[in-house]
Structure formats: C-alpha cells, structure tokens
Amino acid sequence: MTSKLSSVLAAAKAEGRAALIGYLPAGFPTVDGGIRAINALIEGGCDVVEVGLPHSDPVLDGAVIQTADDIALRGGVRIKDVLRTVQEVATAHPGAAVLVMTYWNPVDRYGVARFAADLAAAGGAGCILPDLPVEESEEWRKAAGEHGLDTVFVVAPSSKDERLAEVTAAGSGFVYAAAVMGVTGTRSAVGSMAEDLVARTRATTDLPVCVGLGVSNAEQAAEVARFADGVIVGSAFVKRILAAGDDEAAALDGVREQARELAAGVRRR
C-alpha cells in the first residue's frame, strides 16, 4: 500500500517538479495560532508539513527555532496539543501529508507504541526523529510500521556511502538530506555539498530525496529543486512569524505569501 507521504511526493513528481515541505513548531505562538499558521503554509503551496514537537533541549536547532520552541514551551504546549495540531491540519487539508518532527525523548517518554498509535489516529503520515539514528530505531520502526506511519531518516554530508545505504534502507517516505553541516537556520548560499549529497544518496535508494539547508527564497528553492525531489523550509517561516510580533493576521499573511513564493520557486523550469 502506498503511504500518504509517498503519494503526495509522487504527485509532485508527476507534475515535473520538486515538492515543497514546510516546518513550524506546534504551539507557536499559541496552539490555535500554530494550527492556523501551519494551515497557511499548506494554503500557500506546501505539499507536506512537518509539525515540530518542541523540546527543552533542541541541540540540532539554531537560534530561530530555539526561540520558537521556547515560546511554545513557555506557553505550556503539551504532546496532546501537538497531536491535536496534526489532527486539525490533516482534517482541514486531506491532500497534504502531515509529519511530526521531534527529538527522541518526548516520544520515548510518551510511550513508543502509544505515540505511533495516537499520531496515526490523528491522521499523521509519519515522523522525523533527527537524534534517533538507525541503530537505535528498531522499536520505533516496528511501531510506526504497525500503524502505517513513515519514518524519515536524515543523512548528512559526513555520512559515508556505506552508511547512506544503511540509513536509506531503513527509512520510508523520503530521505531528508541535511545538506550543510550545522544546526537549522537560514543561509544565503546553497553551496555544492547539497547536490553531491543528493547524488550519493540517490545511488543507494529509490526513495525521493528532499533537501533542507536553510532555504528562504524562491531563487534558492528553484536551485535546490533542480537536483532534489523536495525542498524543506523551516527557519524562514519561523522568522516571518517572529517578525510579525503580536499581529497574527500579518504573521499568517507572511507565511502564506512566503510559501507561495517558494512554491513558485520549486515550479520554476
């Protein structure tokens, strides 16, 4: 059976374009405001959304997402709120694939089987767990498989070829190529590492390869879309919301407009 995530990515491919994947943390700036913001990403043109489950110790995130996580956690966001976010977004946009992205400990603490069951029940399509390497992932993958969830693994420029084969064999949905060495955050240049990593990853798998490296504008999205199956954008959306301050309408317009520009970028020939 083809998963929701796979069919959404296949549909983009059938249009001859890369997919646009947007990230925002749940609960940012509030639970309901976060739901509206993630809906705005999809309205603007994101094919897939990653709902962040904020964590107290986001060691892979740069200052922008740390700030958003802090706001969400200080606002009291709970795992049940993250699951409600997934449910509301998935219900409002049945054509989009909704993933959760989080560090491992919240899932571990919630209960691996329970989290997989509740995420699937909420209409979630899968999970990205960037601090859960393949070697530690067996229990999760079993639970995810039982509930029809995809598990997206991350590869990095430092991953050796034999390692890439191991990682891509374990994953499903797509492969997340984190194509710069460093924490999350917007960057001005795409650089050559990304294309090389995508090529090396493709040599090991038929899964789509989507790239995250701090893309923030249509030009960068177009550049990445030429060699990748999907373009992942997170910090740029978070920045828009932070810049809007307390003006929620401006924040929603901002991220919707940004998604629209990026969606045009991935369609550029």
Least distance CB 152 / another protein (angstroms): 12
Q: Which of residues 181-210 bind another protein (CB under 8 A)?
A: 181-183
Of 43, 47, 50, 70, catalytic: 50
Residues 100-129 that bind another protein (CB under 8 A): 104-110
Contact between 214 and another protein per CB under 8 A: no
SS3 238: helix
Please state whether 260 falls in left (phi above 0), alpha (psi between -120 and 50) or beta. alpha
Distance separating alpha carbons of residues 105 and 34, to the nearest angstrom: 22
Residue 131 is a catalytic residue: no
Cis before residue 29, ω within 30 degrees of 0? yes
d(CA 253, CA 43): 10
153, 186, 252, 266: which one contacts another protein (CB under 8 A)?
153
Q: How far is the CB of 125 from another protein (least distance, A)?
A: 21
Measure CA 191 to chain center.
Answer: 21
Closer residue to another protein in complex, CB, 60/250:
60
139 binds another protein (CB under 8 A): no
CB of 54 to another protein, least distance (A): 8
Q: Is 155 in the site for another protein (CB under 8 A)?
A: yes
User: What are the strands, taking DSSP E only, across 93-213?
Assistant: 97-101, 126-128, 150-152, 154-155, 175-178, 209-212
- 183, with CB counted inside 10 A (0-12, 13-18, 19+), is middle
Minimum distance, C-beta of residue 245 to another protein, in the bound complex (Å)? 21
Report DSSP state, residue 58: -
Question: Using the rule CB under 8 A, is 173 a contact of another protein?
Answer: no
Query: Is there a catalytic annotation at residue 136?
Result: no
| Sites of contact with another protein (CB under 8 A) | 55-60, 62, 66, 73, 78-79, 104-110, 130-133, 135-136, 153-160, 163, 167, 178, 181-183
Annotated active-site positions, please?
Answer: 50, 61
